[in-house]
Every structure is written in structure tokens, then in C-alpha cells.
Amino acid sequence: MTETLSPDWRRAPAETAADILLEIQAVHIRPEEPFTFTSGRLSPVYVDCRKIISFPRARRRLMAMGTDMLATLAGAEAFDMVAGGETAGIPFAAWMADTLDLPMLYVRKKPKGFGRNARIEGAVRDGARVLLVEDLATDGGSKLSFVDAIREAGMTVAHCFVVFHYGVFPQSVTNLREKGVELHGLCTWWDILAVARRHGYTADQLAEVRAFLADPEDWDARHRSEIA
């Protein structure tokens, strides 16, 4: 008799990535005690992909899914080098470069101000096709600067990979696309919301997250008045 496998035996990569981030507590949902961002804005959610550095098995799974995604969307031989943005993107670029068996670079936010005054660290190769890697993407602003630095160094970049993409700021995709760069993320907030109930979050908590994602300014104003 042929065994029939459950349709859930192999889940979509986005759902798996969301589960991993929730499992290692890289994603926090706390509307009852909002987080305060550096901008001063209140938020019911906080994402800390740096947590991944402490979980090697989770990291290997995420990088494997990332390489599969890139092979499908960009091509198996689409890149010559991998570059990470200072500082959060550096470990992710190192893992991805190792997985892809490619040389790695990292890109400074600004020239270091002495010596070669370089923004790119590593062995630059003229005309190399570079994959830009970061931990996450919100509005995509920092990525634009990194893309400029890579191109000014004589290399090309057409793809950027992140583990987590907020998925609520259209400019994160459109601004990069205007520069000829496609943004690829393993999962977004919508993937997190799809699996968060099995990690103990309540329907009311997730409703607050949806309200925040729909209008962050309004959510901030309402909860700021409650705190006051």
C-alpha cells in the first residue's frame, strides 16, 4: 500500500522562515507594552535578526532557503561575489558567501577616513556581479547607499537578499527597482502573522499588529495618549 503524505509535510519557505524567527525570539510582539524605536515611534513589534547569530542550525536552514530562492529568481550562476552592509549585514553575507562558495566583501556606511579611505573592504574585482546581503529591510534606504558604493567601486549589483522584509513600505521595493536592483526576502510581517498563533500570541495581539502595519502613525498616537 502506498503511504499518503500529509499536505503539511513540506511547508513553504516563507512560513518556515517565519516559524524559525518566532522560535528563536528574533521577532517580538508586545502591544500591551510597546517598544520605542530610535525615532521615538511606539511599536507593538520589534525585529532583531541579529539573534540568528546565536542559533547555527536555524541559520543554516535560513541560508539554505535563501540560496534556493536566489537560484530560482536570479539564477544558479548569477553572482561572482557577496557583499554585506555594515554592520548587521556582515555575518549574513559571510554565511551566504560560504553557502554559495563565493568571495565576500563588506561595505562601510561611509569611508573610514584614513588609509585607503575605502568603503569596500575585501578584494574588489572590476566588473564582478555582486549579491548585496542584509539582515532585514524596512524602507530600503540604507541599501541604496550600499548599491552606490558597490557600483562606484567598478562592480555591478542587481539583487539584494534579506532574511526579513517588513513588506509594508512600498518604497523598499520601488526605490531599489529604480536603481535596477530586485529585493528578495525570505518572509514578511504577513508571514509572521500567519503562523504567530501557534507560538502563543493571541488574536487580540495580532489584531494590534495588523492595525499598526496599516497605519503606524495612528497606532503610535493612540497608544502614546494611553501611556500619558
At 63, which CATH number? 3.40.50.2020
Tell whether 148 and 67 lie within a shared domain: yes
Residues 6+ apart with CB under 8 A from 47: 21, 26, 27, 28, 136, 164, 166
| Number of domains composing the chain | 2
Q: What is the pLDDT of residue 5?
A: 42
Tell whether 135 and 215 lie within a shared domain: no
pTM: 0.89
Residue 2 lies in a domain: no
Tell whether 97 and 170 lie within a shared domain: yes
- Paired with 45 in beta bridges are 29
Q: For residues 63 and 13, is the Cβ–Cβ distance under 8 A?
A: no
Residue 147 lies in a domain: yes
Reduced to 3 states (helix: H, G, I; strand: E, B; else coil), residue 133 is strand
Tell whether 41 and 127 lie within a shared domain: no
Q: What is the pLDDT of residue 117?
A: 65
Report residue 93 as a C-alpha cell. 553575507
CB half-sphere exposure, 223, CA atoms < 13 A: 22
Measure the CA–CA gap between 33 and 36, rounded to whole angstroms: 10
Report residue 69 as a C-alpha cell. 530562492
Tell whether 171 and 221 lie within a shared domain: no
Give the angle 68-71-76 at the CA atoms, nearest 5°: 130
Tell whether 196 and 180 lie within a shared domain: no
Residue 4 lies in a domain: no
Q: Where are the alpha helices (DSSP H) in 133-227?
A: 141-152, 171-178, 189-195, 203-214, 216-227
Tell whether 62 and 172 lie within a shared domain: yes
Residue 211 lies in a domain: yes
Q: What is the pLDDT of residue 10?
A: 54
Tell whether omega for the bond before 87 is within 30 degrees of 0, i.e. cis.
yes
Tell whether 90 and 150 lie within a shared domain: yes
Domain carrying residue 151: 56-187
Q: What is the pLDDT of residue 157?
A: 98
10-residue averages of pLDDT along the chain (228 residues): 44 91 96 86 92 97 96 96 96 97 96 73 97 90 93 97 89 92 95 95 95 90 78
Tell whether 130 and 93 lie within a shared domain: yes
Residue 180 lies in a domain: yes
